Every structure is written in structure tokens, then in C-alpha cells.
Amino acid sequence: MSFKSSQAVRKQGQPDMPLRIAVVFPGQGSQTVGMLNELSEEYPIVKQTFSEASEALGFDLWAVCQDEEELAKTENTQPALLAASIAIWRILKQNVEFEPLYFAGHSLGEYSALCAAGCIKFADAIKLVHVRGQYMQQAVTGVDTKMAAVLGLENSQVISVCEQVESNNDDTIISAANFNSPGQVVVAGNTEGVDIFSQHIQCMGKRIVPLKVSVPSHCALMQPATDALAEKLAQCEFQLPEIPVIQNRHAAEEKTIATIKKALTEQLSNPVLWTQTMQKFADKHINMLIECGAGTVLSNLAKRQETPIITYPTDKPERLAKLFEKLNEE
């Protein structure tokens, strides 16, 4: 399929304003039971994509998406979300002509971004995130863990409180896991660490919201999973991306296969730099984001950045229609 360069697309009547597009892929927390059911009725590629994923996994991934208990298991959530993102990416390629300047994915979504960019084969990516979920769950077997979102504090303040809790309380593990937007930072750790941290935040008069998750991503507790994933990634064939991917580890485009894999590995036990990624897009004059996957989490985060970028979610027929209308008017 031929694509127009997004640098060449112009708004009607505004020839000096090129449409500069980046596509972003969501991570865990975006899943819902029955996600993409409506799209599957209109676009056969959805079921075809899930069939490919099911064949790679050896079980029916579409059926998992209809079962709340099964979908909640991180080893199932991760391939389900990746399949949903790639299914929508395939819909986009079939129906509109555009060429993104950049990709990025939030946490798990980074695998979707790399897959869409031609860096990882779809079947390989599905199997990778399935075992990634298993490694993550195994890493905290027998450990009580939590994640929580802190609202209304600077990044540096959250980091400072985490360090204070760990230094003053033996056996506590707590650190920033996701820098999502200015004033919204997710923390992760063991239950004791997050509980003590929460008390500090409440004493500061700020809000902290517990998150319903099965594993504490992007903290030191994930180190065993990091080590196991590194071995698995070493066995997987990668290509350099056809479209630049801004990765979570350093909010940067990695230039070699070795550094792409290293960033994927280190991502598990280090924070997601999403605020920094969004600022990088703003600095590169991106003026339109497409959220390619389930839900609207990234669309909502985009509104809260220092430089908000209009974002189009894609997981419902009416949302896709709105995006197609926008792209076809250019």
C-alpha cells in the first residue's frame, strides 16, 4: 500500500501547516471485556488478527477477551492488548493513506509499536508478551504488592518521598513507575512500601488512588523478570524499525537492534517516561496523535501534557469514522 508522507499533507486553506502524525499504542489498564467486538463486526481483519495470535499461543485469545477472569491475568492481558492494537493498525492501513513520523507505546504498548514498525514479527511479539506476563507474575509470587497513582505533585517530589520511605523503613520497596503527565505519577512496590508512601502523600494534602493490577510493573521487584526476559529477547529475531519508535526507557529512539532489546529489557524494572515522550513529540512539532488500540487512556493523558496534542482514539466504529473523516479531508 502506498502512503502519503504526513509532511506533505496540508490543511485546506493553510498550506504552511503540515499535518505531522505520531501513532501511540496503549498498555495494560486499557483492556475491557469484549474489547473490539463492535469493530470485529465491521472489519474482518480483527478476527483474522486474533486468529493469528491464537495460533501462535496455542489457545483462543478472542475467547479470553470475553472472559473477565481470564483477561485479568497479565499473561493473557498482554497478548490480548497487543493483538487489539495490531488489528486496529491493520484497519488503518487498509482504509486510509497516511505515514506516521513516529511511533511510541506505553509500557506493554512498546511491543505493539515495534511490531507495527516492522521490528518484530507479529507471532513473535505475541509469544514474547505472553511469556513477559508470566515472568512478571512469577517475579512477585508470594509477595504482597501494590501500585497507586499520585495526583498533584511534581515528579521530583514523588521521587523524593519514595527515597525517604525506603531509607527510613527496612524491607520497603517503592519507586516511581510511570511518569504519565504533569501532576500524575504512578508508583509501584511492595504493599508496605506503598502503604507508608500513601500516608506521606495524604499528610501532604494530595490525592493517591490505588490501582487494580496483578503485578507491580516498572520497579525493582521486576528484576527477576528482567533477567528472564533478556534471555528470551536474545533468541528473538529483530529488524530495525521502518518508522522511528520512541522507547520508554530513555524517551528516545534507539538506533541499533542491541539497544532496542536492551531498552525493552530494562523497561520492566525502570519507569515509563511517558511525559517526556509526549514532550519530545511536541518538540518535534507533532500536531496529531492516533491512539491505536483499546480504550482512551493515552488520549486522556495527551490532554494533560504541557503541550496538549489532539488525539484520536480508534477502538470503536464511530471513533474510527471520525479519524477517517479527518484524514480524508486533508
Q: How far is it between the farthest Cα atoms of the chain?
A: 63
**Which residues have C-beta within 8 Å of that of residue 238, sequence separation ≥ 6?**
114, 119, 120, 257, 260, 261
**Which residues have C-beta within 8 Å of that of residue 204, sequence separation ≥ 6?**
153, 161
Phi first, then psi: what are they for 294, rounded to 5°?
Answer: -70, 140
Let me know: does 291 contact 298? Beta carbons within 8 Å. Answer: yes
| Cα–Cα distance measured from residue 189 to residue 187, given in angstroms and rounded to the nearest whole number | 7
| Cα–Cα distance measured from residue 188 to residue 203, given in angstroms and rounded to the nearest whole number | 19
Could you count the other beta carbons within 10 Å of the beta carbon of residue 13? 6
What letter would DSSP give residue 191? H
Q: What is the DSSP string of 31-63?
A: --TTTTHHHHHH-THHHHHHHHHHHHHTS-HHH
Q: How many CA atoms lie within 13 A of 96 on its CB side?
A: 23
| Cα–Cα distance measured from residue 180 to residue 308, given in angstroms and rounded to the nearest whole number | 13
Let me know: does 273 contact 250? Beta carbons within 8 Å. Answer: yes
Cell of 230: 533478556
H-only helix segments in 58-121:
61-64, 68-71, 74-95, 109-116
Phi first, then psi: what are they for 234, rounded to 5°?
Answer: -60, -25
Catalytic residues: 107, 218
Residue 246: strand pairing partners: 104, 253
